[in-house]
Chains A and B, each alone.
Chain A
Amino acid sequence: MRRCRALPAAVGALCRALPPRARLAPDVLRRARFDRPQATLDFWRLLYALLKQIHGGEWTESDAIDTQIRFVKSALWYHGYGRPELYQLPSDGSAGSRELLLAFSWLLHRVNLLEWLLARNRVKTGDETSVCTCEDDLSHSQKDTTEMAPGLEDRVDVRYLQWLNGKLRFQWRSLHAQHQEQCKLLHKIHLFTSGSHTDQALGHFSVTETDLIRHPENYNQLLQHLELETMQLEAFLEWKQLEAVYWQWMETVLDNMAEEGSLRTVRDAPVETSRLQEGATCCPWAESMTVQIDRLSGEMTALHSQLQELVARRRSAWCQKVKTREEELQKEDFSTKLGKIEESVELKLLDLTNHGAPNKNKMHGSCRLVFRSKRSASKTGFGGSASKEPVPAVSATEVIRELRMREASLQRELKQLQDECKQRLDGIAERLDGVICISP
């Protein structure tokens, strides 16, 4: 009985914890539980809005429903949802609300949907910058535009291309100058206002906050957003209290389905229908992954053979040296020394491999820039040592190190491509008789 009362509260909190632009009436969940068709469209829309937000795409509520459905299916595939029944749902959104409820709940847990959305939609009052080395938005949007660009005429003057290229270079240079100026401004503001923020972890104001002091009237909306976000966070906390009820309820949904026989397990399913949908052989995603894997494999293989050679040479040299000085070394108790070396190397390598491990708590997304002079940093400790779990903070040095690595890798990739290009040109040049080409 208690559960009966707790369930609406849990569902209510869940709905309020969703982003305002993609909120669901609690009633829809209840209807979906009985697989009512009326709830279907609402659910598709909800999933569409949520997944679009996660993937950072543009969207509107008025997008065609079949587009929405296709997107949701694709995104669910991307996250690894594998119930064939979902992918077989009609593309007009006329049925299947219960399937959608299941998918939604699965996302809720597997993808940490709520947490993710809260983090992503966070109201930004600080001076933010992204800290990860993932491809940035620029290259993404660019990819789109190049693909969409209308085919210009084939005959394009090379000089025009050179001119464009020069312009682009110049643009990058000005961007650099602008960024540098921006840094100076930011730093000044941070420095001058240090100590004034009520939030100890931050210490100083951001540009937005400083401006807010001067023109508060411009920030009424920000204030509103902040308050809405607080409410959403509070709803999330409430949901965390009541979550268990929801999951128990979802289990009863599965029970019902099992009774109806609509929850087949793998064993019963014939292999053919278990495929979500016999996929097309060309999938751009798979293509691009394969290209990346190929490139990385190539680099690794090259590195591997380089290492193999180096190690073989070193080992033989080492063996020889040890042999010639065997007696002398025995006196020095050489083996214990070697033992120590082995230990230290092991540690070093462990550190190295950890670096490449995924999920090593690397930060992603955008962070608030905070200035902490060396002095104050040592005083307060990094990230507010007061609480048990420190506030996630990353130091600029760390990010810079990561960026340097990224830069090096990209340089290599570019070099490879340029070499490839040059080879092709050489190939073309060779076929031209009597022409001497001097490569740049």
Chain B
Amino acid sequence: MLPAGCGGRLAAALQAALRGGAERRRELERSAERGRDVLWGERRGDERPKAEVGPGGGRESTPSSRELEELELLNAALEKALRVRESVSGAPAAARGAPGAKPAGGAADGGDTGELELPAATRDGPAAACPTCEVRAGSRQPTAAKKPPPYRLRAPYRTDPDVRRTQRKAPAGRVSRAPGAAGKSSSKAVAPKQGGRRGPAVPAAAKPQRTAGFPRSAPSEQHGLPAGDGSSVAVCGQQLSAGKRCCAPLRLPGGAEEHTAGARSASPRAAALQEQGCQLELPLPYRKAHTRNSRAWEKCRLCHTSADAAAARTRFTERIQSSFCSPTPTLSPAEIEKELKALQDVPSRLSLYVEAESADHPTLQREYESLLTLEGLQSTVSQCLHKLQLLRAAVESQRKLHPGCTGDQRDCCAACAAGAWVCGSAGTLAVPLLCYSRLQELRDLFALKLQVSMLHQQIALQKVSL
């Protein structure tokens, strides 16, 4: 039934569509991964420590690539399962949080309980960042139950006392830059080998460090110290790189609170961002840059062209346009596209109005109103038709002017594949905002956007098959 050649074209188009979609999915997956990392990173951190306990340093240092692969798969599956569970309802999530916390607490001495959360919170940043870390998480399962106080073990693995120390020594004023340093150290922590080897020696080293580190952290740290016990704090101290430092202290109170409150809120990881999220601070250099930048945008937005500049500019433009070829078309191709775009949804919109008016009306007044509205719509439609005629004429005159058009689409109309141009036409100097007030709005928005682009694709495919 398909016309000759059509099958091939359709297949090619479908394949191209699939490729495009796959690319889109990958991109989305990447950004979702990042989102999850930011949001749930905590959890992974939580899990990881346990994992480490079992295998011991040696194992960590030399997982085979196959093993890594398998673990990664396992990890992904687990993570997915967790996510699913979480999404099913809030309650399960909360439940999950509690059990997770308890075993650890129970195992640790009484003093520990307060801080159990700490390491988790602090740690997961790096963990999330690095796939190799996660691998370890996979191994956790068997061991996890057995060894609750694993948090301590982690410390050695991450610690790189020298590095840390040098960082700490940096002038206090550098706090702001600390984040950068933090990043570095965290990345180091990620490398399993170093940590593993050094492990045993570390705990002692860690403690001093931590104390050194904390002083720099924000005031909130004070909460943290009393609550946490030395070992766990040490753990986080080590990997707390500067970045950590900014947020770790902030997290502390959250962690402690959470504990005392019990499983009152959602899962611990979500809680980390949830409770400390509003106290987070951007690293100083970035904050400065952002402020400067947004101030510059603001100034640009409010800046106007001076009167004499505007006059000179207009004079220049008029003079040069008077030398344009005649007859100068009234609309440029760009303007034609813009006008056309403005018209593209008018039929849909008008039909909606017509539909609304087509019911019978009970009162005379309403009936009159409806009649007038319909008449108004009618004249609007006439106007649009007239406009379309003008546009058609404009297209014709532009077609004649088009320079060196060879009919080859890629070549000739490279400039006019210009959804992009029309689309960006805002040209306003500001960071435009799109405000939403409910999650549902966001969902609708994205669903509709997707729907629209799917329709675009379907139309394109339908055209191919015609």
Q: Knowing A182-B31, A303-B347, A310-B354 are in contact, say whether A149-B2 is a contact too (CB < 8 A).
A: no
Q: Knowing A243-B306, A244-B309, A271-B326 are in contact, say whether A119-B427 is a contact too (CB < 8 A).
A: yes
Could you tell me if A199 and B180 are in contact, using CB atoms closer than 8 angstroms?
Answer: no
On chain A, which size bracket covers the interface? 35 or more
**Closest-CB distance, A136 to chain B (whole angstroms):** 5
**Chain A, range 263-317, C-beta contacts under 8 Å to B:** 263-266, 269, 271, 274-286, 289-290, 292-293, 296-297, 299-301, 303-304, 306-308, 310-311, 314-315, 317
Could you tell me if B35 and A410 are in contact, using CB atoms closer than 8 angstroms?
Answer: no
Interface residue? A25 (CB, 8 A): no
Please, which residues of chain A bring their CB within 8 A of the CB of B291?
198-199
Could you tell me if B346 and A356 are in contact, using CB atoms closer than 8 angstroms?
Answer: yes
Could you tell me if B372 and A363 are in contact, using CB atoms closer than 8 angstroms?
Answer: no
**Closest-CB distance, A296 to chain B (whole angstroms):** 6
User: How many residue pairs between the two chains, A and B, have CB atoms under 8 Å in the bound complex?
Assistant: 702
Please, which residues of chain B bring their CB within 8 A of the CB of A430?
none
Most buried by B among A80, A185, A226, A369: A80
**Chain B, range 129-187, C-beta contacts under 8 Å to A:** 129, 179-180, 182-184, 186-187
Could you tell me if A411 and B7 are in contact, using CB atoms closer than 8 angstroms?
Answer: no
Among B56-64, B104-112, B228-236, B403-411, the one that faces the other chain is: B403-411
Could you tell me if B377 and A405 are in contact, using CB atoms closer than 8 angstroms?
Answer: no
Could you tell me if A243 and B305 are in contact, using CB atoms closer than 8 angstroms?
Answer: yes
Among B47-55, B66-74, B196-204, B294-302, the one that faces the other chain is: B294-302
Please, which residues of chain B bring their CB within 8 A of the CB of A179?
28, 446-447, 450
Could you tell me if A403 and B445 are in contact, using CB atoms closer than 8 angstroms?
Answer: yes
**Closest-CB distance, B14 to chain A (whole angstroms):** 4
**Closest-CB distance, B141 to chain A (whole angstroms):** 25
**Chain B, range 1-52, C-beta contacts under 8 Å to A:** 1-2, 4-5, 7-22, 24-25, 28-29, 31-32, 34-39, 41
Q: Is the interface of B mostly helix, strand, loop or mixed?
A: helix
**Closest-CB distance, B179 to chain A (whole angstroms):** 3
A263 CA / B448 CA spacing, docked (Å): 52
**Closest-CB distance, B256 to chain A (whole angstroms):** 18
Could you tell me if A233 and B296 are in contact, using CB atoms closer than 8 angstroms?
Answer: yes
Interface residue? A385 (CB, 8 A): no
Interface residue? A259 (CB, 8 A): no
Interface residue? A92 (CB, 8 A): no
- In the complex formed, the residue of B with least CB distance to A263 is B323
Could you tell me if A286 and B398 are in contact, using CB atoms closer than 8 angstroms?
Answer: yes
Interface residue? B415 (CB, 8 A): yes
Interface residue? A434 (CB, 8 A): no
Please, which residues of chain A bring their CB within 8 A of the CB of B430?
391-392
Please, which residues of chain A bring their CB within 8 A of the CB of B455?
407, 410-411, 413-414
**Chain A, range 194-232, C-beta contacts under 8 Å to B:** 194-199, 201-202, 205, 207, 209-220, 222-223, 226-227, 229-230
Could you tell me if B435 and A216 are in contact, using CB atoms closer than 8 angstroms?
Answer: no
A413 CA / B452 CA spacing, docked (Å): 12
**Chain A, range 126-175, C-beta contacts under 8 Å to B:** 126, 129-136, 138-147, 149-156, 158, 160-161, 164-165, 167-168, 171-172, 174-175
Q: Knowing A74-B415, A368-B433, A407-B452 are in contact, say whether A213-B341 is a contact too (CB < 8 A).
A: no
Q: Chain B 376-402, CB within 8 Å of chain A: the 1/0 string?
A: 111011111100100110011011111
A266 CA / B35 CA spacing, docked (Å): 60
Q: Which 8 A-B pairs have the closest CB atoms?
A: A217-B183, A80-B332, A82-B324, A56-B420, A192-B277, A216-B179, A149-B12, A247-B312
Given pairs A373-B437, A387-B298, 17 additional interface contacts (CB within 8 A): A136-B453, A138-B24, A189-B38, A192-B273, A199-B291, A209-B282, A214-B41, A244-B308, A266-B324, A284-B407, A356-B343, A358-B341, A369-B442, A395-B436, A407-B451, A420-B466, A425-B1
Query: Can you list 7 A-B pairs with a CB-CB distance of less than 8 A?
Result: A102-B320, A106-B320, A118-B429, A154-B5, A217-B187, A358-B342, A365-B426
